[in-house]
Structure 1
C-alpha cells in the first residue's frame, strides 16, 4: 500500500537546497519531484554543473528515503552515481526520483533529470542506509 504524499512545504529545505534554488513540488516514498534553476548552478562554460545535478539527485533520493524510513529510522546517503547525457544552458531542470528498492535497511532511487524540453540531462542512482533514529537524550 502506498504511503500518503506529504506537502512539499513540510519538507525542510536545508541550506544547500536553498542556495541551489531547489523547490520540491511533490513528495512521497514512491515519487519525489523538484525543480532547480540552471542559472546560478553553472560551471565556467555556462553549462549546468554536473555537481549541481548530483546535488538535485541526492536531495530527491534522500527525501524519498526519509519518507520511507519514518518514523523510527532516518536515511543517510551511502552511494550516488550519475551519468550526464546532455548539457543545459538556461531555464529550469526537473528531477523525478522513483524507487528501485525500498527495504528495511536500505532504499535506492533512480533520479531522472530533464530540461525544459523534457530531454534527459542526467540519470542518477542513490542508495541510502536506513538507520535507527537518534533517541532524545533529554
Structure 2
C-alpha cells in the first residue's frame, strides 16, 4: 500500500468486528481529513442516549485511520492516548466524526476528532495520539 487511496480502501475493507457492529462507515479519507458516520440507534446507554464509549470508539477509529494515512507504507500506527469530552447527548439519527491533524511528526501523530449530531451540534471532542512504528521488513 503506497497511496492514500490504497490505504483508505484497505481500512474500509478491514474495519473490524467492533466497527461493523457499531455501524461505523468511512465516508471521506484524505491526508488532511477523515470523516465517518455512526448511527445512534444500537449504540446507546440505558437512558437512550448515545453511549460515551461509542463516541470514543468512533474517535479512535478516525484517529487511527488518519494516523495510518500519515504513517505511510513503511510505518504503522498504534494508539497511545485518547481522551474525550462529552458536550451534549444524541438520542436518534446519525453522528458524524471528523478527524483533523494537530501534529504529524515522523514517530508520533495527534488528531482532534469532533463528533456532531444531525443538526451539526458538537456532541463530543476527542484527541488521540498515535505512535508511528517502523514495520519489520522480515514480517509479512
User: Is the pair's TM-score, using the shorter chain for normalization, greater than 0.5?
Assistant: yes
Aligned partner of 1:6 in structure 2 is 5
Q: Runs of at least 4 residues of structure 1 off by over 6 A?
A: none
Aligned partner of 2:17 in structure 1 is 15
CA apart distance, 1:46: 0.5
CA apart distance, 1:6: 2.3
Task: Tell whether the 8 Å contact from 1:65 to 1:107 is kept in structure 2 after alignment.
Answer: yes
CA apart distance, 1:14: 1.4
Match of 1:76 among 75, 78, 92: 78
Aligned partner of 1:97 in structure 2 is 99
Instruction: Measure the CA separation in 2 of the matches of 1:5 and 1:23.
Output: 17
Unaligned runs of 5+ in 1: none
Q: Give secondary structure in 1 for the equivalent of 2:92.
A: coil
CA apart distance, 1:133: 1.4
Q: Give secondary structure in 1 for the equivalent of 2:63.
A: helix
* Residues 110 and 137 of structure 1, relative CA distance in 2, 3 Å threshold: closer
Match of 2:52 among 50, 53, 58: 50
CA apart distance, 1:10: 3.6
* Residues 137 and 86 of structure 1, relative CA distance in 2, 3 Å threshold: closer
Instruction: Measure the CA separation in 2 of the matches of 1:104 and 1:82.
Output: 25
Higher helix share: 2
Unaligned runs of 5+ in 2: none
Q: How many residues align?
A: 136
The alignment's C-alpha RMSD in Å is 1.7
- Relative to the length of structure 1, the TM-score reads 0.92
CA apart distance, 1:16: 1.1
Aligned partner of 2:133 in structure 1 is 131
Instruction: Measure the CA separation in 1 of the matches of 2:16 and 2:139.
Output: 24
Aligned partner of 2:89 in structure 1 is 87
- Relative to the length of structure 2, the TM-score reads 0.91
